[in-house]
Structure 1
Amino acid sequence: MSLPRFHCPDRTLLVQGGELPREVAHHAVRVLRMGAGEELVLFDGQGGEFCTRIMTIEGSRVKVAAGSFDPVERESPLRTILIQGLCATEKMDWIFQKAVELGVTALWAVPTERSVIRLKGEREARRLEHWHKVILSACAQCGRNRIPELRFFGTLYDCWAKLPASGLRLLLNPEGRPGGTDLAPPDGTVVLLVGPEGGLSATEINQAHQAGFVGGRVGPRILRTETAALAVLAALQSRCGDWGL
């Protein structure tokens, strides 16, 4: 059975030991019911992880010993960016969580013409903070020691300027031609573009094609927005990533 894993951004604490952040301490002791002497793994998102153990528990204060560093990496050699059109909150959480487990390199959220959800100002900041926690939790669960990039763009146009210069740009379109998605090993980063529940508009699809995106419908069945990118990420990891199936 694997040890409980927690994200802790304070590398000094990981190296020297000390008091855990309040949220981590609460989860370890109050949720997982861990006690003094039990081992756990801490990672700061910069690579590698530290095995340590709980020294003392005094109320909400939990102290751990100096960590033993393990440089293990679990990142896929395949670089992938998911551009996800804003959809219902619970669906976005699911997509981001599972994409992290499937080894995605970066997660970009963007409103589209058919997005019901709109984020601005304080609401945008709260949602980004929430997604960041979803990503950290997924990393802790699946063993990743590097945190995927999270970005929010106001429009699809804003995304185009930040796209990698080389690689494969795939548009997953339920109204497109079946079999139009090429999953051959890419030379560079694979960028996946997925619309919200109602899909991308004809104008947005044309814009995507002008930005170099190719592809279409994945298989003979229509996949939901929370299924499409995850299915393709899984296929890519199997063919070009680190699954070795």
Structure 2
Amino acid sequence: MTRIFHTSTITENSQLTLDDEAFNHVVRVLRMKEGDILTLFDGTNYTFQATLESITKKQAIVAVGAGQFDNRESPLNIHLGQVISRGDKMDFTIQKSVELGVNTITPLFSERCGVRLDDDRLSKKIQQWQKIVISACEQCGRNQIPVVKPAMNVEQWCSDLAEGLKLNLHPRATQSINTLEIHSNNIHLLIGPEGGLSDLEISQAEKQGFMGMLLGPRILRTETAALTAITALQTKFGDLG
């Protein structure tokens, strides 16, 4: 069943017009026809079966049926602080972290971050990453939409966080996720850049309550580290397994 995110609240047993992106995907990419059925969701954990009622060159109107509560969220509330990586690696990390259940993503700049973006390009990147989040939710069945927050530097992110378990993955750490005990479902996960966080940044994170964590004897790439850590946390404390 084709799943489409609708940007505004859906009212059951009603009609609505698909927004431009949904129209393009449903009509121009998937080439769906009048009478075809799709599933809509609006980020409230409800899904709605809908029928394509009318299609023109510029819009598609659907008839919405009854809503059904469908919560597929993990019991863990994971906030990923990911130093921005080059090329499509950041896109990949965001997509897969959403599939694995991350709730919030903050792109970060660090001393060894190899990406430099002016304000305009950064704003466009944030919008692009949010679209990747939505697409991942449509694919994996999540009915709440994680948020990509404005980018900031590592030190600011560490100091601005609310209470919860704070983990910093780096190869010089001595503790393991396997020995970890949690007393809060709120987890803040810091992942450094391809060159790693500097000693100063690691020290600053520790002062803000971050615990150094090690995934194993091998040094992982930044995108591998993020997804492996999220998987380990979800397997041990969440809903994987």
Which TM-score band applies after superposition, normalised by the shorter structure?
A: over 0.9
Identify which of 110, 114, 123 aligns with 1:125.
Answer: 123
Q: Are 2:18 and 1:20 aligned?
A: yes
Change (3 A) 1:180 1:61: closer
Q: CA offsets, 1:66-86, max 9 Å, x none? A: 232111111111111111011
- The answer to whether the 8 A contact 1:180-1:217 is kept is yes
Residue identity opposite 2:187 in structure 1: V
Cα offset, 1:180, TM superposition: 7.0
Local SS of the residue matching 1:65: strand
Change (3 A) 1:18 1:149: closer
1:121-146 CA-partner distances (Å, limit 9, x unpaired)? 21111011001101010111111111
Alignment partner of 1:231 out of 224, 228, 231? 228
Aligned-pair distance for 1:15?
A: 5.3
Report SS of the residue matched to 2:64: coil
Give the Cα–Cα distance (whole angstroms) in 1 for the partners of residues 13 and 220 of structure 2: 46
**TM-score, length basis structure 2:** 0.93
Deviation per CA, 1:184-226: give whole Å up to 9, x if none: 3442311111111111011101111111111233111111100
Task: Report what 2:109 is aligned to.
Answer: 111
Q: Distance in 2 between matches of 1:149 and 1:18?
A: 25
Matches of 2:185 and 2:9, distance apart in 1: 31
Deviation digits for residues 50-96 of structure 1 (CA, Å, limit 9, x no counterpart): 11011122223211112321111111111111110111131110011
Q: Deviations over 1:13-54 (max 9, x none)?
A: 765213211221111122112111111111111321211011
Q: Do structure 1's residue 62 and structure 2's residue 60 form an aligned pair? A: yes
User: In the alignment, which residue of structure 2 is the partner of 1:168?
Assistant: 165
Query: What amino acid maps onto 1:206 in structure 2?
Result: S
**8 Å CA contact retained: 1:181, 1:214:** no
Matched, 1:209 2:206: yes
Partner Cα separation in structure 1 for residue 16 and residue 117 of structure 2: 38
Q: Does 1:196 align with 2:193?
A: yes
1:33 maps to 31
1:91 maps to 89
Structure 1 residue aligned with 2:145: 147
Distance 2:35 2:220 in 1: 47
The alpha-carbon deviation at position 174 of structure 1 amounts to 2.5
Q: Which amino acid aligns with 1:173?
A: H
Q: 1:174 to 1:152 in 2, by over 3 A?
A: farther
The aligned counterpart of 1:184 is: 181
What is the DSSP-based 3-state SS (H/G/I as helix, E as strand, rest coil) of the residue aligned with 1:133? helix
2:8 and 2:233 mapped to 1: Cα distance?
34
- Provide closer, same or farther for how the CA distance between residues 69 and 206 of structure 1 changes in structure 2, counting only shifts above 3 A: same
**C-alpha distance in 1, partners of 2:60/2:232?**
42
Q: 2:98 aligns with which of 97, 100, 106?
A: 100
Structure 1 residues without counterparts, runs of 5 or longer:
none
Does the CA contact (< 8 Å) of 2:108 and 2:152 recur in 1? yes
Cα shift at 1:12: 4.7
The 1:128–1:14 alpha-carbon spacing in structure 2 relative to 1, beyond 3 Å, is farther
State whether residues 86 and 196 of structure 1, in contact with CA within 8 Å, keep that contact through their aligned partners in structure 2: yes
How many residues matched?
241
Is the contact between residue 155 and residue 201 of structure 2 (CA under 8 Å) also seen in structure 1?
no
Greater share of strand: 2
Q: For the residues of structure 1 that align with 2:10 and 2:77, how far apart are their CA atoms? A: 30
Which residue pairs with 1:134 in the alignment? 132
Calculate the aligned-residue CA RMSD, in Å: 1.8
